[in-house]
Amino acid sequence: MDMSDNGYTEQHAQRLNDSFKRWMGRDLIQIEESKSLLQQLLHSNIFILSHGTEPDPVLNFGNQAALNLWEMDRATFVKTPSRLTAEPVRREERSRFIKEVTENGFTENDAVIRVSSTGRRFCIKQVITWNIVDENNHYYGQAATFSDYEYI
């Protein structure tokens, strides 16, 4: 496995894009073929994050935009259970949301409230969440992307 960028891999970047394309019919970002997909995702101006398959799923990818919004460095981000991205009062809502994605492959939501590591609340808008799968339908977790948010 290519551990090219602090534990993030080209393989994971490819799975993120391929799975997004499977569910949404388009690439996650406009891809420049001459550049590393991982580097393009990491430095994209849209927010991209994912978690794994643990019983209490842990974040395993966040591009720089996501790290900035959640106010974490990469080392902290990838040790954080994804449920902690939502306020305690919103975690049941988040659980229903995650179940819907698991069952349907993806979901699109107009507005979802999340919280940074410092407690700063924000509403992410037009978020797409999808299951990460490979060509054999092996499940690797879930990912989300959005391009707009508002502090509340």
pLDDT at position 99: 82
Residue 4 has pLDDT above 60, yes or no: no
In a domain, 29, yes or no: yes
Residue 106 has pLDDT above 60, yes or no: yes
pLDDT at position 7: 67
Going by their DSSP bridges, the two strands 148-151 and 139-146 should be labelled as unpaired
Range of the structural domain that residue 141 is part of: 10-151
pLDDT digits (tens, 9 = 90+) for 51-63: 999 999 999 999 9
Residue 5 has pLDDT above 60, yes or no: no
Query: Residue 93 — pLDDT band, cuts 50, 70, 90?
Result: confident
Report CA dihedral (78, 84, 86, 90) to the nearest 10 degrees. Answer: 150
Read off the DSSP letter of residue 83.
G
Q: How many domains does the chain have?
A: 1
| Tokens matching residue 98 | 């995650």
Can you tell me the distance from the alpha carbon of 86 to that of 117, in angstroms, rounded to the nearest whole number?
A: 10
Cβ atoms of 74 and 67 closer than 8 Å? yes
In a domain, 134, yes or no: yes
In a domain, 96, yes or no: yes
In a domain, 14, yes or no: yes
**Helix/strand number for the chain, H first, E second:** 5, 6
Which residues pair with residue 5 across a beta bridge?
A: 8
Can you tell me the distance from the alpha carbon of 142 to that of 133, in angstroms, rounded to the nearest whole number?
A: 9
In a domain, 2, yes or no: no
Closest CA to 86 of 112, 50, 53, 55: 112
Give me the CATH number covering residue 139. 3.30.450.20
